Structure 1
Amino acid sequence: MDKAEKIPQYKLFIKPSDLRELEWTIWIDDPIPAQLTLDRKRFDIDLSYRGSHIRDFSKKSYQISFHKPTKYKGANLIHLNAEFKDPSLIRNKLSFDFFSEIGVLAPQSRHIFLTQNGKAEGIYLEIESVDENFLKKRNLPNGSIFYAVDGDANFSLMSDLDKETKKSLELGYERKYGTRADDHYFQEFIYKINTIPQREFSRKIPKYVDVDKYLRWLAGIIFTSNYDGFVHNYALYRNGDNGLFEVIPWDYDATWGRDVNGKLMEANYVPIDGYNTLTARLLAVDGFRKQYQRLLIDIMNHQFTVEFMKPKVEKLLTLIRPYVLQDPYKKQHINDFDLELGFITKYIQERRKYLYGKLAKLN
């Protein structure tokens, strides 16, 4: 690896009065005006905090909308994640890259170093927004995108939150892109998941969801161990050409052996067959369950191995380590950072052992 390789520098400038307003109203999504300099270009932007519980952390995460010019590298909106609870600062990116490796649509991401009014704010992960620009960048057919916004995004007619019948088929979801007409297709999708008779399910459900891509997404959750991933932390894209839904992962910092608080998560914590209504119905079909089993075996033979993953982990950690030492929120934890290569490697070994022991469950 080239020792001279560097991560991009983002320079944020905020008027003191606007900064005070932002800091006083952390739970309000209204943006403030600011300027961002990157790649030797200055952009007028709208800036707001992002996330839910993470807004309480001392190192904030941000959402940036480009105002003038309106786009940067084809995007008019990006996210800067502080990755505050992840000792490695790489789990989100490692997960998105892993999903891409196994054939799942996933946002692009890269580490950057942020300064605010000349003061170091530290390492951030810039994450591509999943929106119409996401589709255009990949030359994908136009369609609609729905975000899973809470635990009711469980593909069910029943609410996970209050254990009652949902008052709306869209409960737990929010349309990010598309038209009101697309809401009908989404509602039909959720309804069909829950009402197609089991004897007809294997024949009819492929008319609504790309089963292979769904199973690949499910496998990605299983390998990375994102406990919330089954009913949260994803977006649904409906391909306007073939009418099929597929899933895009989102928010994968609590993975690779650590939970949402950065604490150890045992390798057997996330079950091999996952959960949510669509997953349960698909895996109740012999053909789909065997397809999923073969997919897990194939990924464990190729991508989910220490030999494949360890160099990727090591490269990312080596790239950002000099910047960890400049991060005011992370530099005092450099010893924990230096243990993460071994931690993630051990997780992969133990997770493989657990999954191999459970493959027979899918027979």
Structure 2
Amino acid sequence: MIITLILIALGFGSVFANSNSADHWETVVYSSDVWKYRPGNSSPDADWNQLYYDDTSWMEGRGGIGYGDGDDNTIIEQTISLFLRIKFNIVDTSLIESALLHADYDDAFVAYINGVEVARAGISGNPPEYNKFADSEHEAKMYGGGAPEEFEIKKEILKNILIPGENLLAVQVHNASAASTDLSSNFFLSFGIGDSSRSYRSTPEWFDEPFEFSSSDLSIIVIDTEGGTIVHEPKIMAKMGIIYNCPGNRNNITDPFNEYDGWIGIEYRGNASFRISDKKPYTIETRKEDGSNRNVELLGLPKENDFVLRAVYIDKTLMRDALAYYMYRSMGKWAPRTRHVELVLNGEYQGVYVLEEKIKPDKNRLDIAKMDSADTSGEALTGGYIWCVNRRWGDEEHNDLLFDSTEADGNPRFLKYPQPDEVMPQQLEYIRNLEQEFCDVMAGPNYNVPFIGYDKYIEVSSFIDEIIIQELTGNSDAYSYSSYFYKDRGKKICAGPIWDFDQALCNSTHHNGDRYDEWRIKIPDGARPQFWDKLFGDKEIQKQLKNKWTEYRQESLKTERIIAFIDSVANYLQEAQEHNFKKWPILGVSIWRSLPGAEERDTYHKEVDFMKEWLINRLEWMDVQLYQTTDVENLSTGKITEFKLYPNYPNPFNPSTVIKYQVPKYEKVTLKIYNTLGQEITTLVDGLKAPGIYEEKFDGNNLPSGIYFYRLQTESGYSDTRKFLLLK
């Protein structure tokens, strides 16, 4: 979906001005007001959106007007489009400082004030014809507890279109298809008033005064497309400036561009991440004015020209990518380096983004051979290549298909380097045949025979590292989506580098994303290349996996080290996250693939703590499975050396959950449940226990939703308490 807003263009390098100086805000149009409306069964008159137009023949009803989602005060028949009009009065135009149009729509709209377009989302055409479909599907949010989207209308525009007395708001709404089962049209118009006078109505309960971005303790990236429209491909030319005044100094939007001031190419990127939100991810390429590449250092990242701006929308900690890459680098591997920034695009604040290095062959990135058109035979033909496993999304013009064969199991493979418009036929044939040969061997009976099995084709240690990082993070996309491989010249296939962890670390309903006590690689998934299953089940791989895990847990992946990194990033983002969630008010809101309990996690730090708690549980569980110590060996044989209370599962739960604990010697123990006031709810265990591991089921069927605690105590003084969430 392409979103175009009517904005006053900034001269590049000019002062960024905040025009909003409102004393307070009032609302002049509510969605539930009485509107004039006309289903789009034919083209309306050309002047239908003008104030003087005679709409007496139009129907009348309370908004929202639509069908299918239960958010409609006036229900209409199924239609491709809907045209709306409502008049409102302005007492004094000189007191109007700015305006906000809030829109909750399905699937696209264009809004006008007195015939002038002021906001648009999800549709092209000037104006769109009555029978034009939306560019993509867009779901309304308010009926599910969300907030409408906000579109700013600046004072410079308002002063040219508002008049004293009667004015008109007109909106055309479009569906994504003729067969669509829903259409929503809820619109609100609010004004920022320049003095304390009150002439209109109070704002809705969900209304937040617009955030005025003026400075940050993060670097600020400012991009101006100079009227150009960003699309998926190709990149368009734009100008970019970066403000970075060194650590400890504030970065003001009015400061000069001192880190970068020049041209870029910019395009949308991503598949699901692009579709689910209006906070869009981008790929950028630093360029010279003639469009050629310009290698530069950005914010301490080594010289290159290809970068990614991650939107981190569904990741409410704003750090899952950065954390996964940090842990992978701690294991001695290359992963994209990251910088948190705040982004302003075409004069509009966009929130916190993560500037990341793009995966590509480079001495400062993935250090493998760079291929050219002459590398078509001998050892030169053997590398370097980068490809990934991913799914087809239906609009494959921007995807670079390498394998489209049923013989290559799992999701298709997409060639990244050499780039598809540069790869030679001999190169494509070589790497396609090599990967297919590996898949064929893994599908056969001799897949683990030395010298002819998997170790002939792959660098085993890299595949083990891939398993460790994907399993440690519980990545819901593991092995099947954005799963990279590379092959250097004269060397074997390697797994990696890693990429895309916004659905990892307990952040997705997909593939049991909340489970810390199961292997992701064992979840049935036809999208995953099946060689992963055989590798994970191989005895030699298991042995090396346990050895590597034990090594990493001694230093690289120590719990204290990981938690310290998380805390440092959360502290670093303390101010910027407030800016971000004022722009995108999704804390405490269930969004795409949110896990149960999202409504309870209504602050940034609750989201961070939620991730930390899951990660600690995950580390403990993986230790039991993999850690090569005497204690773990004793645990498997029943020779337990310490008391321990484990995390319950599932958590959150409804209505029952299982609590596990271990006892190293004969001792009287108690296991009790408490509410948040410290009041005892019930006793699950009270008596003598022999050495062993025990599980107790707790049923909260008769309790209200909320946070509870369970406490294990022993006669010898051991005590431990954990919390869990009952969510009905």
Alignment TM-score, normalising by the size of structure 2: 0.43
Q: 1:200 to 1:117 in 2, by over 3 A?
A: closer
> Where does residue 355 of structure 1 map in the other structure?
622
- Aligned counterpart for 2:360 among listed residues 118, 121, 131: 131
- Aligned counterpart for 2:613 among listed residues 319, 341, 346: 346
Higher RCO (C-alpha under 8 Å, 6+ residues apart): 1
Q: Deviations over 1:86-111 (max 9, x none)?
A: 11000011011111112333212121
Is this contact kept in 2: 1:104–1:217, CA < 8 A?
no
Q: Could you say which structure has the higher strand fraction?
A: 2
More moved, 322-331 vs 121-130: 322-331
**Is residue 2:303 matched to residue 1:70?**
no
Q: Sequence identity of aligned pairs in percent? A: 15
Partners of 2:500 and 2:270 lie apart in 1 by 10
Is this contact kept in 2: 1:33–1:44, CA < 8 A?
yes
Partners of 2:271 and 2:304 lie apart in 1 by 23
Partners of 1:48 and 1:282 lie apart in 2 by 38
More moved, 240-249 vs 165-174: 165-174
> Where does residue 195 of structure 1 map in the other structure?
441
Q: Deviations over 1:148-198 (max 9, x none)?
A: 23289xxxxxxxxxxx96166897112111233333134223322322654
Structure 1 counterpart SS, 2:355: strand
- Aligned counterpart for 1:306 among listed residues 534, 556, 559: 559
Alignment of 1:264-343 (within 5 A): 265-268=514-517, 270-271=519-520, 276-327=529-580, 328-330=582-584, 333=587, 335-343=602-610
Is this contact kept in 1: 2:219–2:340, CA < 8 A?
yes
Residue identity in the other structure for 1:302 = E
Q: 1:169 to 1:136 in 2, by over 3 A?
A: farther
Residue identity in the other structure for 2:515 = E
Is this contact kept in 1: 2:359–2:366, CA < 8 A?
no
**Is residue 2:226 matched to residue 1:15?**
yes
Instruction: Say how many residue pairs are matched.
Output: 339
Residue identity in the other structure for 2:489 = G
Partners of 2:477 and 2:447 lie apart in 1 by 30
> Where does residue 156 of structure 1 map in the other structure?
none
> Where does residue 149 of structure 1 map in the other structure?
390
- Aligned counterpart for 2:413 among listed residues 150, 173, 182: 173
Structure 2 counterpart SS, 1:250: coil
> Where does residue 337 of structure 2 map in the other structure?
108
Point out where structure 1 has 5 or more consecutive residues left out of the alignment. 153-163
> Where does residue 47 of structure 1 map in the other structure?
266
Point out where structure 2 has 5 or more consecutive residues left out of the alignment. 1-215, 244-257, 298-302, 371-383, 394-403, 589-601, 628-635, 637-728
Partners of 1:126 and 1:107 lie apart in 2 by 10
Structure whose CA Rg is larger? 2
Structure 2 counterpart SS, 1:231: coil
Structure 2 counterpart SS, 1:325: helix
Residue identity in the other structure for 2:448 = F
> Where does residue 699 of structure 2 map in the other structure?
none
> Where does residue 241 of structure 2 map in the other structure?
37
Displacement of 1:277: 2.0
Partners of 1:138 and 1:30 lie apart in 2 by 25
**Is residue 2:427 matched to residue 1:182?**
yes
Q: 1:302 to 1:198 in 2, by over 3 A?
A: farther
Partners of 1:278 and 1:247 lie apart in 2 by 15
Partners of 2:568 and 2:340 lie apart in 1 by 12
Q: Could you say which structure has the higher helix fraction?
A: 1
Q: 1:352 to 1:246 in 2, by over 3 A?
A: closer
Structure 2 counterpart SS, 1:111: strand
Structure 1 counterpart SS, 2:448: helix
